[in-house]
A and B are shown apart, each in its own frame.
Chain A
């Protein structure tokens, strides 16, 4: 589904990713762990095509297509999704209208008829109920004045609507209290299935207790230095990243 090969990329002069390789198959859940500032968020931004980052080497294929050649909106329409660590606020843009616009763009891409506001409202209500979200978030501007947890839920709501093939969840656990974390994790688990894959980016193993990954990778200084299963996450819970950081 997603194949990252020897990916090197950076921001301005600085090289941040130094040759990452990772293969994600349909239905797989991967946990990408590592301390802050070692390239986890950079990787997610590059995968969705953020213009601030430059790819300097390697490649990424997504369902057999060259992902890096696609503009960001094409990547989204093809099924790539990022739940942002810090979702932006968009004052003046009604959340429900934005969600319907994004939803209909996807339908248009799939050569389906657009959904009218009433039908969409029904669909949206169902998805919001499923995520235990207050319906008043429909009428507010996108993320404006949302608490940290509400913003994260709004990201997962978008994921629930757009049903991406590969969803990257960047620090989805940050800013969430334990109850909100459970709700978000429950939502993500219900959305995970044999046809889609998840990349869970986190520096803290707790989220992986709720969304169990098949594979766990440790990202240090722009490289995946170790890969394993759930046991690796458990090990990191007790040892931390110190041994990896001292290693080089």
Chain B
């Protein structure tokens, strides 16, 4: 691994660390993570292969203030963010802290348990610590270094969640300082459990730094439909790390819709550890101005007969910048692995930039793995076809542009979340004159 750039002693990072008051439950995690940051060699620089495309350093090497919890978050604000169908199955994490009083899980209380992370650290602490000690992503290690709160969710074996569970991650912005939050969420799905979870990340207008960790464990034959709606303010920095392990016959179906912003980066580290495990991961972003959204994905086929499907789509306007760096590793002995990776980019401006790096690392000889990427403009043959049916040029272009994103948005199974993602993303296009109606 290429070294990061050393953190100098008077850096904002150390200043934040000096002010940071550790909680006893999290001390071991914080210390293991800090040791790991020092071991890796400091903050991520452009020479670090993990950050070649996503230059996060200028966005995190800032005087930030770790913030834990907020006062005065109104029920009305939260209510606006709750999806239809999740009115009695939502959890609120505000400025990194879980607020049971603002949450309502009455519809799914029989099927799962939820605890503030501090109370669950005896159970999940060791695994978070072990993962932190091996963490290669400095931004995720930063989450571990400052983590003092979050959620621990257990879906009982055999349970089928009767309603989708929504996790609202809400951040505040302050003029005098850069609020930074570092929540962690653990989700354990028992054997045969079935759930749909929607994460909605949003916040106040203005700058803030959100750096969240999701540690997802799928037991044997568990199924998780996972939608991640990143709807933060354009001035916000959004970093997420999703660690996933899937046991035998487990299925994960994940869709990430990114509004983008000053810096948005999602890191998925997925380990298929039981035979027959299946993973589907897709992402869509529509970027304008100087917005950025990046996907860094590592999928490990650790055992035979697993399947992974990845599809990312980006629409880039103005000087928008996206990247998808995704690697599928087929471990020795993981025969009959079946994987594909596809990245499609639609470029609407000569100043936009799309970096694509779908690649494979294969250590078995009986596998089927495909990967590909496209970068292009709107297909003129398609435009002409629509025009020759009486549809005006501007409308034809709008239809083709919006429909490019629509296929990934439509993969979000919950209607209200899909509509929200649609409005959030297509709304940006409509404001640019790509209105179909």
Contacts and interface: CB of A to CB of B under 8 A. Distances in A.
Interface stretch (A90-98, A115-123, A224-232): A90-98
A88 B381 contact: yes
Contact of B384 (A51, A91, A93, A141): A51
A88 B391 contact: no
A29 to B, nearest CB: 21
A71 interface: yes
A76 B389 contact: yes
Interface string B403-414: 111110000000
Contacts of B379: 88
B399 interface: yes
A49 to B, nearest CB: 7
Nearest to B396: A73
Contact of A91 (B391, B392, B407): B407
B14 interface: no
B376 interface: no
A105 B391 contact: yes
Contacts of B390: 73, 76-77, 102, 105-106, 109, 162
A88 B385 contact: yes
A201 to B, nearest CB: 15
Contacts of B399: 93, 98, 101
Contacts of A240: none
Nearest to B410: A92
A169 to B, nearest CB: 14
A42 B13 CA distance: 67
A87 interface: yes
Contacts of B384: 50-51, 72
Taking each of B385, B395, B405, which has the highest tally of chain A beta carbons within 10 Å of its own beta carbon?
A: B385
Contacts of A71: 387, 393
Contacts of B392: 73, 105
A98 B400 CA distance: 11
Nearest to B389: A102
Interface in B350-408: 379, 381-382, 384-393, 395, 399-400, 403-407
B403 A90 contact: yes
Contacts of B385: 84, 87-88, 90
A146 to B, nearest CB: 14
A162 B389 contact: yes
B400 A93 contact: yes
Interface in A61-90: 71-73, 75-77, 82, 84, 87-88, 90
Contacts of A87: 385
A75 to B, nearest CB: 8
Contact of B387 (A72, A84, A106): A72
A93 B405 CA distance: 10
A158 interface: yes
Q: Give the contact-size bracket for chain A.
A: 20 to 34
Contacts of A158: 389
A73 B382 contact: no
B430 to A, nearest CB: 16
Centre residue among A50, A77, A92, A162 by max chain B CB count within 10 A: A92
**Most chain-A CB neighbours within 10 Å: which of B390, B400, B407?**
B390
A141 B387 CA distance: 17
A93 B384 CA distance: 15
A106 B391 CA distance: 9
B421 to A, nearest CB: 15
B407 A92 contact: yes
Contacts of A49: 387-388
Contacts of B388: 48-49, 72-73, 75-76, 82
A72 B382 CA distance: 13
B186 to A, nearest CB: 36
Nearest to A109: B390
A92 B387 contact: no
Nearest to A72: B387
B46 to A, nearest CB: 35
Q: Among the interface residues A75, A91, A141, which one has the most CB atoms of the partner chain B within 10 A? A: A91
B398 to A, nearest CB: 11
A87 to B, nearest CB: 7
B143 to A, nearest CB: 35
Interface string B170-182: 0000000000000
A92 B426 CA distance: 14
Interface in B115-134: none
B404 A92 contact: yes
Nearest to B403: A92
15 contacts: A49-B387, A49-B388, A51-B384, A71-B387, A73-B388, A73-B390, A77-B390, A87-B385, A88-B385, A90-B386, A90-B400, A92-B400, A102-B391, A105-B391, A141-B403
Given A88-B379, A141-B403, 6 more contacts: A51-B384, A73-B393, A90-B382, A90-B385, A90-B403, A162-B389
> Top 9 A-B pairs ranked by shortest CB distance?
A92-B403, A76-B390, A102-B389, A105-B390, A72-B387, A93-B403, A77-B390, A73-B387, A92-B407
